[in-house]
Amino acid sequence: MRGGGLLVAGTTSDAGKSVVTAGICRWLVRKGLKVAPFKGQNMSLNSFVTREGAEIGRAQAMQAQAARVEPTALMNPVLLKPGSDRSSQVVLMGKPVGELSARGYHGGRQKELFEPVMACLEELRGMYDAVICEGAGSPAEINLRRTDIVNMGIARAARLPVVVVGDIDRGGVFAQFFGTTALLSPEDQSLVAGYLVNKFRGDVTLLEPGLDMLHGLTGRRTFGVLPYAHGLGIDEEDGLRVSLRGAVRESVVAPPFGEDVLRVAVCAVPLMSNFTDVDALAAEPGVVVRFVDRAEELVDADLVVVPGTRGTVKALAWLRERGLADALARRAAEGRPVLGICGGFQVLGEHIEDEVESRAGAVDGLGLLPVRVRFAREKTLARPVGEALGERVEGYEIHHGVASVAGGESFLDGCRVGSVWGTHWHGSLESDGFRRAFLREVAAAAGRRFVPAPDTSFGTLREEQLDRLGDLIEEHADTDALLRLIEEGAPAGLPFVPPGAP
């Protein structure tokens, strides 16, 4: 039997599509339905490796967790990983298939991918009671409609009802809802069932007259008004939710009385990828995580993290241009902790040979670790399990760089020299025992009186956050109406909204 479905579209990028999709998945699975997330095409530098060794967007992995199912490549058949403003690596069914310019992708390749994307969606609908699809950007990007494989293109092909999410905290949400609907073709408009307001602060009764007027103008209802929820800490897709300067990844929880706060600075390198690695640090009581781009911001940091990047050589040049490379070298000489993850690990090494990612050839690294890196055309995609600091560690690997380690202490797949650590393993800090052991080492090197909380479970915290998303839908959306949409399919030809209507 073919399962039901829904497309969660948005008026803009970062309107809340990812978290709303996750919230609907968690609400439905708590009702006893078998649910799967889906996003036909995702553009993101935050990715994850499934158990079958496929690379997908971290947002879809998070949504699968919300649905309590194992993530697979079917849930995100096309992933675009930007390498510059004009080109991206194309990952199809979890494997890289080439690098394409935006013009080359939208000019022909994207159209070729429509069939495999629809095949994945149909396969999921045959396996699950409901498939909750996430759109990308806005469905009203009329310049891209002809080759669309993620918004109204799949909605029309699969006859999916569409709910459009708008972020009212940014302002202008009524104009966004009306304008988004008005710019669609009559055929696409007929699939738009209505709207969902996200991130509302205040008294909802003050909003209701506007919602009534919106219904009068568009013929479409609003399915709910979701309140602004602080500190969700859910995996993001395209970039930091807050501006770089002084950005804090999570709200810090005060440490137990008499203990110090640990300060973590994350170098916000170009094409930063999988910066979600530091979420587990930020979840620890008494740990503050900030993203920085100036050398002086490293001075009072107890730990500096150089995160993953899709542009290792570019990140290396950026660190040198901003004086951060010299600051990292001084830290290493003083025995102050530095952690490099994936591309961040590579830049800490002695030498990089890159004819794949940047085609820069031979480049000197920072020389803080005895490591030489050669970029291979084949991408490493793995889910390793190991041990470090006497604790079990799980992680995942996504990289073209192959590291040859010539010294230091063994550390996961990398090494440690004094207070400088390096590994290709993303997600290792989510292993609770290892994270606590690592923070004890950082605190000792920093001379801090800090003891990690023994009962902090990152997995439990993540489950609590996903339950909060489910609660938002259950408590603030018209769940009966949403369930009817999912089960019964696209609405029957809602009225057309002409451009220029009052």
The set of catalytic residues is: 342, 426
Kindly tell me the sign of the dihedral angle through the C-alpha atoms of 216, 219, 225, 226: negative
Beta bridge partners of 423: 341
What are the structure tokens assigned to 93, written together?
């069914």
Three-state SS across 51-65?
Answer: CCCCEEEHHHHHHHH
Q: Report whether 183 contacts 143 (CB < 8 A).
A: no
CA dihedral 64, 69, 75, 76 (to 10 degrees): 50
- Rounded Cα gap, residues 153 and 150, in angstroms: 6
- Rounded Cα gap, residues 182 and 140, in angstroms: 9
Question: Residue 341, Cβ neighbours under 10 Å: how many?
Answer: 29
Query: At a CB cut-off of 8 Å and minimum separation 6, what does 225 contact?
Result: 197, 200, 204, 207, 211, 476
CA distances to 42, 87, 110, 157, 160 from 82, rounded to whole Å, are 11, 6, 15, 28, 29
Q: Report whether 26 contacts 467 (CB < 8 A).
A: yes
Name the nearest CA neighbour of 156 among 183, 132, 192: 192
Q: Are strands 303-306 and 409-411 parallel, antiparallel or unpaired?
A: unpaired
Q: Report whether 375 contacts 356 (CB < 8 A).
A: yes
- Rounded Cα gap, residues 152 and 299, in angstroms: 50
Helix (H, G, I), strand (E, B) or coil at 362: strand
Query: At a CB cut-off of 8 Å and minimum separation 6, what does 221 contact?
Result: 193, 194, 195, 215, 481
Element (H, E) at 306: strand 303-306
476 residue type, one letter? H
What are the structure tokens assigned to 281, written together?
């640090």
Kindly tell me the sign of the dihedral angle through the C-alpha atoms of 369, 374, 377, 378: negative
Q: Report whether 238 contacts 43 (CB < 8 A).
A: yes
